[in-house]
Structure 1
Amino acid sequence: MATWQRPGDEGVAGILAGLAERYLGAALPVGLVAWDGSTAGPLDGPRVVVRHRRALRRLLWDPSELGLARAFVAGDLDVDGDPTDGLRCCWALVRDGRAGRPRLTVADRLAAVKIAARLRVLGPRPRPPAEEARTRGRLHSLARDRSVIAYHYDLGNDFYEAILDPTMAYSCAYFHTPDQPLAEAQRAKLDLICRKLDLRPGQRLLDVGCGWGSLILHAAEHYGVHATGVTLSQEQARLVRERASERGLTDRVDVQWCDYRELSGTPFDAVASIEMGEHVGAADYPRYAGILHRMLRPGGRLLLQQMSRAHVAPGGGAFISAYIAPDMTMSPVGTTLGHLERAGFEIRDVHALREHYVHTVRAWERTLAERVERVTAIAGAAQVRIWRLYFAGGALAFEENRMGVNQILATRTTVDGSSGMAPTRDGWEAGAPAVPA
């Protein structure tokens, strides 16, 4: 049973806890520590630390997820303990119906203003943290997409090498057991993709949104294909070329710095796109699906791995949009299947990997914690706070089924309807057991 300190009028924490409980209609789910050292709420779990009154000023101007995110990124607000546990407690409060949506009356607002004045919180709107994305131009124009991709991926190859496993795969891995090392699980994911695509020596593979080249390098080295990757990140393209040269694969691996809308030429034997469709946008997705279809020869296979989400916060919310992936859109898996079918694909298999993403993100989270000094030296303390929150919230969203991820296998059938697919899935799993839920 949790040890509890009731809010009172002694100290800032008591004042803030009383105000929060009045508006939420429920007890605080986490502890609270204020800048004057006072505490309130549960004492034996995660605690929100209000380090500076500027955090409250941010919330007065932006009483939303964005205001909280800005306070956290700026260091005005922090979490003492496991951020995932703190988010889990807060989300459970809403999910279980213990807290209603605040409906502030005029009297409530006046009371909040009086308390803000008493705590010397009132003042001009604080500037957003310098790390916040500032998007310009028409949504999903070529220029805007390039700037958005650069914002996220051009933090530097050193940054991502410090967080990811040696394959540099920045997508959901495939775990045979929950405690399997991440690098092994990522190689298992790459093998699973290659087997589903039925890659053979001499074939041509296109990877749309190739990242740091984990798939095209793996497929060229272990399956003998000629692989072409496409990325909008110059940092990624540079590293792919370096790694291809180091492995003696320059004759079989090519990377192009271009947009998927600029693709042309002879269709490929197989096409993959691994967690890139989220950056396309709902309005442009039919065009994206059509280009994937055009770039695949009749009888060839498409492997699309993509995150999914219901229509509520399809971009992941204000924090994700402002600090991680601006303009991102996650659609229900059924919507994605509809786009692919209308583009001319035959859907052959849908493989849900949601639980695997929980293990993947938690592995990244552990690596960040282990290498926090190195990552701070590379990118700064604010970026460490951003990625701590990103990983904590992401793992929880997949754990609680508020987000999903799926591998979709589809074919471009020939004119006579042949799919080129075997009648069974034999060989895909290579005898590996499934990950327990």
Structure 2
Amino acid sequence: MTVARTAPRPSRTGAAHLLYPLIEQFLGGRLPLRLRAWDGSAAGPEDAPVVVLRSRRALRRLLWQPDELGLAQAYITGEIDFEGDLADGLRTIWSAVRERGLRPPKLTVADRARAARTALSLGAVGPRLPAPAAQARLTGSPHSKSRARAAISHHYDLSNDFYALLLDETMAYSCGYWTSDAPDYTSADSQRDKLELICRKLELRPGARLLDIGCGWGSLTLYAAQEYRARVTAVTLSREQAAYVRARVAERGLEELVEVRHRDYRDITGGDYDAVSSVEMGEHVGDADYPAFTATLHRMLRPGGRVLVQQMSRGTTAPGGGAFIESYIAPDMHMRPLGDTVGLLESSGLEVRAVEAMREHYPRTVRAWHRTLEDRWDEFVALVGEQTARVWRLYMVGSALAFEEHRMGVDQILAVRPKDTGASGMPGTLRDWYARAGDR
């Protein structure tokens, strides 16, 4: 006679089972997540995205810093990870927070004591862990010239090799303009269509003088000089970018048309330009300094000249870049609501003539970069190290979702400096802007 044996009941004393109720309490409600801990225990819905605590260090880090930055640090160091697609996991979390209206409650002394006892029982209590090496460490007054130089260097001087690996052949590190869904239409095509659109909006022609503030790796500078024979002054605070653009100018024989200046926009002299461009550079201008920035745009233009600002925006309740982005990607970044930017441009004496929202274009742009990152992961790790590669994975996944879910936007704002008579020189209709580059 065989005695039937019942399967042993799973233990409810593992780390995941002890932590899961605390997580729900600290977050203000139930999240559709499954938690797997370093001891192999798991808790939460079996069909939910899985968050993995790989070591007690993750818990210790979050005890010291229980916020967005603490979570980001734990992910960067590999102490916390996601099983499966990171974007799906973050989308699920943010959707639940939004739909259920989750808000962290005000914790009592008893709540904190309970959390401390749980951490102590799991061996997770200890001194504060150091921040990952990839975190920016700036000194000085925000947006002073020396600090601005350091902030730009942190982001853009990571190395030209890194960005050459990440971006397409245009080296455009800004939102593309996707004009086709055809399978053979690439990220590089979207960037060239964006550059063509900007040149048309600025009405560039042979000999026109263009000031490209925050020129990046020269995508617009080179396109305007090569395709429109415009005379371009390219300005960047990044030493790496300046060297790269100078090399490309020489390679293409454009020395008579392009001058590259490695300097702060506040040190630009001269003026009387036919056009000024600022493509996703204004986000690096501090809130207090933005009126001076728009005054510079106005001062650099001749009467009747045009300025195009392509810039990211945030809602009125979250105008900055967020703790993670400001600590690891773009220190001192400030994004304001679109309406505020338009108002500041107008206050400088410019007349805003057109605003084109491009929010839906950014997820496609960022996901193209993210695919490259994942496809060539080992190369990125060899180049910049695993922690920095994880920083960029989190940045790209989070950014794409922020634009997708309307937590961030991006717009092209076209303005003119009217003549004393009030004449703008603008065409009666705008239809010529939107023809494809190949139709020109």
The answer, yes or no, to whether TM exceeds 0.5 is yes
- Alpha-carbon shift at residue 365 of structure 1 (Å): 0.7
Q: CA deviation at 1:401?
A: 0.3
Check the 8 A contact 2:291/2:348 in 1, yes or no: yes
* 2:193–2:436 CA contact under 8 A, matched in 1: no
Q: Hey, what's the Cα distance between the residues in 2 that align with 1:121 and 1:365?
A: 34
Alpha-carbon separation, structure 1, partners of 2:231 and 2:18:
65
Q: Per-residue deviation at 1:18?
A: 2.1
1:323 partner SS: helix
Deviates more, 1:351-360 or 1:96-105: 96-105
Identify which of 272, 281, 287 aligns with 1:276: 281
Q: Write the distance in 2 (CA, Å) between the matches of 1:119 and 1:398.
A: 39
Question: 1:150–1:233: 8 Å Cα contact kept in structure 2?
Answer: yes
Partner residue of 2:240 out of 235, 240, 243: 235
Map of 1:373-384 to 2, 5 A cutoff? 373-384=378-389
User: Which residue of 2 is the match for residue 32 of structure 1?
Assistant: 35
Q: 1:98 deviation in Å?
A: 4.9
- Alignment partner of 1:150 is 2:164: no
Aligned residues of 1:168 and 1:214 also touching (Cα < 8 A): yes
Counterpart for residue 3 of structure 2: none
Structure 2 residue corresponding to 1:321, chosen from 311, 322, 326: 326
Shift of 1:315: 2.0
Tell me which residue corresponds to 1:393: 398
CA distance in 1, matches of 2:101, 2:168: 40
Q: Which residue is equivalent to 1:352?
A: 357
Q: 1:102 aligns with which of 96, 105, 124?
A: 105
User: What one-letter code is carried by the residue in structure 2 that aligns with 1:147?
Assistant: A
Query: Do the aligned partners of 1:272 and 1:304 also contact (CA within 8 Å) in 2?
Result: yes
What letter matches 2:361 in structure 1?
H
Residues 210-225 of structure 1 mapped to structure 2, 5 A cutoff: 210-225=215-230
Distance in 2 of aligned mates of 1:238 and 1:69:
33
Report what 1:58 is aligned to. 61
Give 1:45 deviation, angstroms: 4.6
SS in 2 for 1:427: helix
- Whether contact under 8 Å (1:347, 1:409) holds in the other structure is yes
Judging changes above 3 Å, is the alpha-carbon distance between structure 1 residues 19 and 371 closer, same or farther for their aligned structure 2 residues?
Answer: same
The unaligned stretches of length 5 or more in structure 1 are: 1-5, 433-437
Residue pair 2:403, 2:409 contacting (<8 A) in 1 also: yes
Query: Normalization by structure 2: what TM-score?
Result: 0.94
CA distance in 2 between partners of 1:166 and 1:11 (Å): 50
SS state at 1:315 partner: coil
Q: Which residue of 1 aligns with 2:144?
A: 141
2:121 to 118, 121, 135: 118
Match for residue 172 of structure 1?
175
Q: How high is the TM-score relative to the length of structure 1?
A: 0.95
| In structure 2, C-alpha distance between the alignment counterparts of 1:158 and 1:404, rounded to whole Å | 29
- Equivalent residue letter for 1:265: G
Structure 1 residue 263 corresponds to structure 2 residue 268 = yes
Q: Partners of 2:348 and 2:362 in 1: how far apart?
A: 28
Unaligned stretches of 5+ residues in structure 2? 1-8
The residue type paired with residue 421 of structure 2 is D
| 1:404 corresponds to which of 398, 404, 409 | 409
Deviating more after overlay: 25-34 vs 344-353: 25-34
**Partner residue, 1:331:** 336
Find the aligned partners of 1:100 and 1:131 in 2 and give their Cα distance.
30
Once the two structures are TM-superposed, the CA of residue 431 in structure 1 deviates from its matched residue by 6.2
Identity %: 57
Question: Counterparts of 1:151 and 1:22 in 2: how far apart (Å)?
Answer: 37
The one-character-per-residue Cα deviations of 1:230-279 (angstroms, maximum 9, x if unpaired) are 00000000000111111111111111000000011132111000000000
Partners of 1:368 and 1:375 within 8 A in 2:
yes
* Secondary structure at 1:410 match in 2: strand
AA of the residue aligned to 1:422: P
Tell me the SS of whatever aligns to 2:21. Answer: helix
Alignment correspondent of 2:376: 371
Q: Counterpart of 1:354 in 2: which secondary structure?
A: coil
Question: Aligned-pair distance for 1:84?
Answer: 1.2
Computed over aligned residues only, the root mean square deviation of the Cα atoms, in angstroms, reads: 1.6
Secondary structure of 1:306's counterpart equals strand
Equivalent residues in 2 for 1:127-138, closer than 5 Å: 127-138=130-141
* Pairing 1:280-295 to 2, within 5 Å after superposition: 280-295=285-300
- SS, match of residue 301 in structure 1: strand
Match in the other structure for 2:82: 79
Task: Judge which range, 139-148 or 307-316, deviates more.
Answer: 307-316
- Letter of the 1:208 partner, please give it: I
- Cα distance between partner residues in 2 of 1:182 and 1:361: 10
Q: Work out whether residues 7 and 17 of structure 1, in 8 Å CA contact, stay in contact via their aligned partners in 2.
A: no
Give the aligned residue type for 1:158. D
Q: Which residue of 2 aligns with 1:435?
A: none
Q: Which moved more, 1:55-64 or 1:75-84?
A: 75-84
Counterparts of 2:337 and 2:11 in 1: how far apart (Å)?
45
Aligned partners of 1:43 and 1:305: how far apart in 2? Answer: 44
Give the C-alpha shift of residue 25 in structure 1.
Answer: 4.4
Residue by residue over 1:206-230, the C-alpha shift from the partner in whole angstroms, topping out at 9 and shown as x without a partner, is 1000000000000100011011110
